[in-house]
Structure 1
Amino acid sequence: MKSEQATPFKREMYELGKTYERLARQAGVEIRLNTEVTPAYAAKENPQALIIAAGSRPLVPPIKGLDGDNVIIVNQYYKEKAKVGNHVIVFGGGLAGCECAIHLGQEGKEVELIEMRPALAPDANIRHRPLLLAQIEKYVHVHTQYKGLEVTPEGVLCQDPQGQRILVPGDTVICALGQRSRTDVVEALRDSAPFVRVIGDAAKVSTITNAVYWGYWAALDI
């Protein structure tokens, strides 16, 4: 949720995290920051219940050039705003990519959005999606059914729906190609307590709303 602080129309989601932290402290919850829960740590603490909310990692496929200096992972955008040029390519048209593209367009950037599928943001809330697409139409140049082949200093080389190779130009590429659950953490800790629940992106990459619901129900089950 840290990345939400960079997007004005999502600032409330960042504040939600701060609110939950404050409420947890008021309820007497001990919060240990900068602490990695390993199997050894769990064995030392010997908990009766363990809720694994380890989240997900950005999905960065082995596409040539995606590790280049002109590429920023969408989750890290809030740390690297100074590196973003005036002509930006958002590589990935899911919910996170669309929201990032809108924000960049609102900041006055020229924005190209590349998506391999025919539709944008299929993971968006059904009520939210029409509003999202209206903003995309206002601020963003959209390239659907474009398959990204290579990232270069000049932009992203793509294959269009007709099979032709086309360079989508831009000086900065935002990688928004999805998330992957931290299954290695989950598997390492799965037997670390009598009661174990996996919630949020650690269980299935989804939304903040679903993560909150899963956390609530996991706590009720203890």
Structure 2
Amino acid sequence: MTVSTSVFVQGWLSMAGLIVAIGAQNAFVLRQGLLRAHVGPVVALCALSDAVLVFAGVLGLGGLLREAPALMAPLRWAGALYLLWFGWNAARRAWRGDSALAAGGASQSRAGVLLTTAALTWLNPHVWLDTVLLIGALGAQQAQPAVFAAGASTASVMWFTALGFGAAALAPKLAQPRTWRCVDALVALAMGAVAWQLLAV
């Protein structure tokens, strides 16, 4: 195995170990996949955002944020408030057991879905901590940082593709009111847990 291949694999494994945890971003991608609504654009935006953040971290942004943690404070509060709002709406849907969940979600505009995706990514400090700070710090120590970042970005593309399109493939078998209530309950719990962690810092 060449040095470049080894570094690429290290980047892939590092990102893969972090990204599979259920969080706000993953829960939203899962829900959009089950709704079969704008899955491609959502997957592409999540993967592209991760790539931008990973490369930014490897190229030095992670070091800047570690030296000036106060820069993350506004992002932390904005992200927590947005997550609480989104989680509250998901909890209401789960409580009501709205049988029109799928139709309502599918009718949401692409712009609206992408705006929510962007907010759950760029206003979520956990995404920044995982990609810019942690992956960025690991990548900066490598002999070939850009190759490490490419490996990490590839893991992100593969994960979001599998999550979004995998959920879409299973949607016909899961299109039941109880399933939607469980999905929205999961979304609400994920959003609330991340928001609590942010506010408790």
TM exceeding 0.5: no
Superposition TM-score tier, normalisation by shorter sequence:
under 0.3
Greater relative contact order structure (CA < 8 Å, 6+ sep): 2
TM-score (norm: length of structure 1): 0.24
TM-score (norm: length of structure 2): 0.26
Q: Write 1 or 2 for the structure with the bigger share of helix.
A: 2
Q: Write 1 or 2 for the structure with the bigger share of strand.
A: 1
Structure with larger Rg: 1
